[in-house]
Amino acid sequence: MAYVLQARRLGIDTYQQPVAYLRRDGAVCKAEGFEAQSRVELQCGTRVVAATLNVVDGALLNGQEVGLSEAAWEALGADGAAAVTVRHAAPLASFAAVRGKIHGRPLDDAAAQAIVADIAGGRYPDIHLASFITACSGNRLDLAETIALTGAMAAVGQRMQWPSPVVVDKHCVGGLPGNRTTLLVVPIVAACGMTMPKTSSRAITSPAGTADTMETLAPVAIGIDGMRRVVEREGGCIVWGGSVTLSPADDVLIRVERPLELDSDGLLVSSVLSKKLAAGASHVLIDIPVGRTAKVRSEQAAQALAARLEAAGRALGLAVRCVVSDGSQPVGVGIGPALEAMDVLAVLQNAASAPQDLRQRALVLAAAVLELGGRAAPGAGLALATQVLDSGTAWAKFQAICAAQGGLREPPRAPCTHVLEARHSGRVVAVDNRKLATLAKLAGAPHAAAAGVRFFAPLGSRLEVGQPVLTVHADSPGELAYALEYAAAQSNLVTVEDV
């Protein structure tokens, strides 16, 4: 049966999980046998949302009200006077296919489509999402399953179309702090007249995603119409994928992958390629940094991932090319949204302080994109990219893109900073990307945009005792202390050797 209740916004932020609150002694709970953790369907006008129930005793609600978490309130588009219909949620039939996968039955197209439709529709509770993600992690998806999942993810949500027959895109597999090449490649390539509608994610397990970094410079949550406008005007954009409902299931999955810190080749391929397909790309360049503490740790793993990406792309009508790059240490100086943005600005502006490693990586990737998309002849991409960057044309294009997205702005600066000094002297022979990333996250990145680390001790550099190794930046003394406590407990953020 269905019950019409008065919506009550409780102002509770449950991290995007829609939660409904009902009184235990109210008519609805009693008539329907609802209990905590029951799944209910909420309807307000034409909007329908699946929610998890929390049962309330006491004065928080009366029996004619249904309390809504912020996510439920927003998804329903409810307002103060809204009536919301509450009923049992339909059983989650597609989870049988997840159970089948866990017991060894491969995911076929039908199973992938059913699962992805339910995930994108918000019908998977968080524990079911966690189970699906785990079932697909650790190389548990083969190529056919990866293709099925990717195709299903690209097919839900919108799919963009562009006038140009060649639409390029790029992606970096990540795991390398500060590797913010997208903010350089897009303006270079767009300045060469190509179409590059780039959507980027926020951080999953890292201290900054490209969208987090770009957001310190310009608005990124501009929606699909905003994205279309910017690309039509400037040829390129850098927007947050979560605002454009391209492969919306991916955003739901990432929300749970992030606290679990789980990822895998199959999920990575489906996440990356479904976004590119939905954004209308025809040619995609993928950067795979390899290093002992990068996301991909060996050349062999990189080749396997590249083969998977290229094969899945081929099956789905996407020309994919992978380049394997050096992932032995962070790129640039900054780690964290605003600190990475400052590195990008220095490169675009050809400042003397610009990190040369970031510049060089961006030029190599831009060259590869120009060649992959046919804008430069094989071997001629690097000269073209360098000329566009050195001449200031890329910087002008970047400013134009920011203006089109809503206006270029100054990245924020953190009020609390602390310098960590070298305790030994010698040459730097190893840098732990993961520990530096953890340190930046403990300092507050990415939710605190100004937080993070500035790192001054690249591989091969010579340190003297007392010389700054890094600076920790935080919005609050509490976060600074939390990060420094972690740093003090680590013996090998950086390994030095006598020379």
Footprint of a copy of itself on this chain (CB under 8 A)?
A: 1, 9-16, 21, 24, 30-33, 35-37, 54-60, 69-70, 88, 95, 99, 102-104, 125-131, 133-135, 137-139, 256, 259-262, 444, 447-448, 451, 475-479, 481-482
CA 87 – CA 2 distance, rounded (Å): 5
Q: Compute the chain's Rg from CA coordinates.
A: 24
SS3 496: strand
Residue placing its CB nearer to a copy of itself in the complex, 56 or 404? 56
Residue 494 has φ and ψ, to the nearest 5°, of -135, 135
Nearest residue to 189 via CA among 240, 234, 241, 226? 234
Tokens found for residue 282: 């025809």
Kindly provide the residue ranges of all beta strands, DSSP E only, lying in 168-314, ordered along the sequence: 168-172, 196-200, 236-240, 283-290
What's the min distance (Å) between Cβ of 25 and a copy of itself? 11
**Omega within 30 of 0 (cis) for the link into 197:** no
Kindly state the tokens that stand for 164: 């140009």
Identity (one letter) of the amino acid at 159? R
- Secondary structure in 3-state letters for 261-280: CCCCHHHHHHHHHHHHHHCC
Residue with Cβ nearer a copy of itself (69 or 433): 69
Contact between 166 and 374 (Cβ < 8 Å): yes
Buried b (16+ CB within 10 A) or exposed e, 48-84: bbbbbbbbbeeeebeeebbbbbbbbbebbebeeebeb
Positions marked active-site: 263
DSSP-assigned letter for residue 176: S
Residue 417: CB minimum distance to a copy of itself, A: 16
Cβ proximity to a copy of itself: between 129 and 365 the closer is 129
Q: In the complex with a copy of itself, which residue's Cβ is closer, 2 or 377?
A: 2
Cross-strand bridge partners of residue 355: none
Token pair for 4: 């019409």
Helix, strand, or coil (residue 81) = coil
Q: Which is nearer to a copy of itself, 133 or 220 (CB)?
A: 133
Cβ at position 49, least distance to a copy of itself in Å: 17
What's the first-to-final CA gap in the chain, in angstroms? 77
- Cβ proximity to a copy of itself: between 405 and 438 the closer is 438
Cβ closest to a copy of itself, residue 191 vs residue 450: 450
What minimum distance in Å lies between the beta carbon of 224 and a copy of itself? 26
Q: How far is the CB of 130 from a copy of itself (least distance, A)?
A: 4
**Would you say 92 and 52 are in contact if contact means Cβ atoms under 8 Å apart?**
no
